[in-house]
Amino acid sequence: MITNLQTPIDYLKGVGTNRADLLRRELNIYTYQDLINLFPNRYIDRTQYYKISQLQQSNADVQVIGKIVAFAEVAQKQGKRLVATFQDETGVMELVWFRGQKWIREHFKLNTTYVVFGKTNWFNGKFSMPHPEMELLEEHEKNLRSAMQPIYPSTEKLANKGITNRVIAKIMQQLFMETNGRFAESLSENICSELKLLTKSEALFNVHFPKSQELLARSQFRLKFEEFFYIQLQLIIKNLIHKSKIKGLLFEKVGSYFNTFFNDHLPFELTNAQKRVLKEIRADLGSNAQMNRLLQGDVGSGKTIVAFMSMLMALDNGFQACLMAPTEILSVQHYNGLVDLCNKLNINIKILTGSSKTSERTTIHKALENGDLQILVGTHALLEDKVKFKNLGLAIIDEQHRFGVAQRSKLWQKNATPPHVLVMTATPIPRTLAMSVYGDLDISVIDELPAGRKPIKTVHRYDKNRLQVFKFIKDEIAKGRQIYIVYPLIQESEALDYKDLMDGYESISRDFPMPHYQISIVHGKMKAADKDFEMQRFIKGETQIMVATTVIEVGVNVPNASVMIIESAERFGLSQLHQLRGRVGRGAEQSYCILMTGHKLSNDSRTRLETMVRTSDGFEIAEVDLKLRGPGDIMGTQQSGVLNLKIADIVKDKDILQSARFYAKKLLKDDPTLSNAENKVILNTYIEMGKYKNIWNYIS
Ligand code: ADP
Ligand code: MG
């Protein structure tokens, strides 16, 4: 019989109420199931035993057999430490505890043979081992032992209360004894045999008590695959439910707006990537399902024209369209870019933001409701309830990461049948992550920049090279170019950062004196009106240098600016550096990005700088960023569950993720309702995992 794994952990022999409480509080372990899924962080080879005379000054974990012959308390600056003299037939060493001393005194006996395990230090002419793992030799020999000793995740509290790694391993062993190590299979025979996977029971046994490196590796593969497989299955099913349940507006034709624009007014040849994405969007709009698509494309890859041409498809079918951007500056920029194109086509377009006048608003509201207004551009002012469309067919959101899911769904409600939705982002998310985070959106990618762009030259310079850098700036200004100089502004060190900014501004003012040079400064403490004034001076070319904090990161478009200097570049994250660099390289001139740093650099900073110098491919940069920071800081991951992975790692195991996604897709294609007998095990596991509701919706 197979034990019910939902049994509370209290029932496991050797656990009891106190330990159960601790396990719940510290490791979220409530049931047998949770305990089995507590996977080791790493493994240590414990087949070797050392004599004290053989110990080396290395940092390896070692195990030694011997006896405690004395305990002593030693006073130190704060509190005291407990020191045990530990000896074998070859010599003496010390065991040391800084915490939990009372417990140690009560539990460990003098002159009894123990196996101790841990790292050793060379201290006062002796080896000492702080907080060793200890086990009676007798027990040690009896225990289920394997070549690789698992090291489980733990917390300080657990260790202090005596729930050491050894105790966890013992509890785990007890669990395997009570269940006979037999666990219900959770993948189909098809998949298991095709991928030559170990059975669930074999994999669980060998991940906790590996018999060999090879079995350990295969066990980990099987369990990681399974973990990804069920996440992918869930995401794909969600997407399918969406497509089958949410009827979309059918745009039957490509009409005269689109064709006239394409044939007569397109200002340049579209890149192949733009053409491909337009085809993908066209296919969505011409199907019966509501489009919910994410368009990723690096800064400058030309997303706007794709957005505009998609809007034309809506207009051709008698619908309205809107384009929403996160800031007023960006909205205005979009509006200015589109208004000329619209005039040529006789399209009625307006802009609505927080600062639109009341009279304007009234006109806009009316024209929206009676259908005269065809395209509305704006900020989240568009989401207000007063803004009602006659028939909104397509809603486009730029810079998606600044808007939440809630806002996306608010747009849906702007029409009786939800409009098609296209979200655009210039912050590339690595594909592997996108698959997991945005699995419910379809994804299009513009992975090609328009032809003829000169790549931005990026260099790393140290503070001591500043004079050369200033000389370079002077040369560029002499050629008529403009320069950004950006300072970090980080909340925790705000006061100091402002000082750096102001010091920097002063020294730049000295090196670039008026009236020959004009300098703008913009930072977050300025009033909006002053900020705007300074910004406008730079945009109009009245000032040659813009000194700023990262407020200029999003949206500013000054094609004549050709140099981006980033001060203390080691303090910026990769995606921020990439976004900042994207402010230049917008005109015909060769552009430059200069990363200024001090001499002392951490390894991570060095990697970031080298990456920036090496590549301007946003996706490559995003991959490095993900490796450096982990998925936790990447937008959208918090809700997606990729952070709660128990054994797999979204960065290291991306090949397994890809394979899991492939098999999940294939499964749903061959057996969309999971009703084939051979897939019953998958259906059952899926339902077990508490996703009963989703699958029910999907089947009905
Ligand atoms: P982003 O993807 O960052 O929003 P934009 O849509 O603003 O990029 O495009 C950046 C610049 O490139 C604009 O000036 C735009 O007119 C131009 N552009 C877009 N597509 C092409 C193309 N296929 N060929 C030449 N220039 C293009
Ligand atoms: Mg854009």
Q: What distance, in Å, lies between the first and last C-alpha atoms of the chain?
A: 34
Same fold, 53-133 and 256-285+302-425: no
- Three-class SS of residue 445? strand
Q: What is the mean pLDDT of residues 205-226?
A: 90
**DSSP, res 8:** B
- For the segment 29-71, what is each residue's pLDDT rounded down to a tens digit? 999 999 999 999 888 867 778 899 988 876 567 889 999 999 9
Identify residue 424 by its one-letter amino acid code.
M
The closest of 549, 548, 697, 575 to 634, measured between CA atoms, is: 575
Q: What is the mean pLDDT of residues 474-479?
A: 96
Round the average pLDDT of the chain to a whole number and report it.
87
Residue nearest atom 10 in ligand 1 by C-alpha distance: 300
The CA angle 252-379-253, to the nearest 5 degrees, is 5
CA distance 446 to 538: 31
Residue 307 Cα: closest atom of ligand 1: 6
The per-residue pLDDT for 236 is 84
CB atoms within 10 A of CB 351: 22
- Provide the residue count of the chain: 700
User: According to CATH, what is the number of the domain 457-615?
Assistant: 3.40.50.300
The per-residue pLDDT for 696 is 35
Q: What is the mean pLDDT of residues 220-227?
A: 95
Q: Where are the domains positioned within the chain?
A: 53-133, 256-285+302-425, 457-615
**Ligand showing the shortest atom-to-Cα distance for residue 330:** 2
Going through 498-551 in order, the beta strands assigned E by DSSP cover 519-522, 545-548
8 Å CB contact between 572 and 566: yes
The per-residue pLDDT for 1 is 62
CA distance 617 to 310: 26
Backbone angles phi, psi at 184, to 5 degrees: -60, 140
| Reported confidence tier of residue 698, pLDDT bands at 50, 70, 90 | very low
% of the chain exceeding 70 in pLDDT: 91
Give me ligand 1 centre to Cα 285, in Å. 23
Residues 6+ apart with CB under 8 A from 368: 320, 376, 387, 388, 389, 390
- For the segment 71-91, what is each residue's pLDDT rounded down to a tens digit? 999 988 888 999 999 999 999
Range 377-386 burial, b when 16+ CB lie within 10 A, else e: bbbbbbbeee
Residue nearest atom 20 in ligand 1 by C-alpha distance: 302
**DSSP, res 688:** I
Backbone angles phi, psi at 255, to 5 degrees: -110, -155
Q: Indicate the class that CATH gives domain 256-285+302-425.
A: alpha beta
pTM for the complete prediction? 0.67
* CA-derived radius of gyration, the chain: 32
Residues with CB under 6 A from ligand 1: 268-271, 274, 297, 299-305, 426, 450
CA distance 369 to 361: 12
| Reported confidence tier of residue 552, pLDDT bands at 50, 70, 90 | low
% of the chain exceeding 90 in pLDDT: 54
CA distance 351 to 332: 8
Strand-pairing partners, residue 75, are 80
CATH superfamily of 53-133: Nucleic acid-binding proteins (2.40.50.140)
Q: Is the pLDDT of residue 403 over 70?
A: no
**DSSP, res 322:** E
The per-residue pLDDT for 146 is 56
Residue nearest atom 18 in ligand 1 by C-alpha distance: 302
Distances (CA, A) of 577 to 297, 458, 550, 640: 17, 11, 10, 26
The CA angle 50-53-54, to the nearest 5 degrees, is 45
Residue 452 Cα: closest atom of ligand 1: 25
Q: Which residue has the tokens 């994250």?
A: 573
Q: How many CA atoms lie within 13 A of 343 on its CB side?
A: 6
Q: How many CA atoms lie within 13 A of 620 on its CB side?
A: 11
- For the segment 89-130, what is each residue's pLDDT rounded down to a tens digit? 999 999 999 988 888 999 999 999 999 998 888 887 889 999
Distances (CA, A) of 553 to 225, 488, 566, 586, 617: 39, 11, 12, 14, 18
Residue nearest atom 16 in ligand 1 by C-alpha distance: 302
**Ligand showing the shortest atom-to-Cα distance for residue 337:** 1
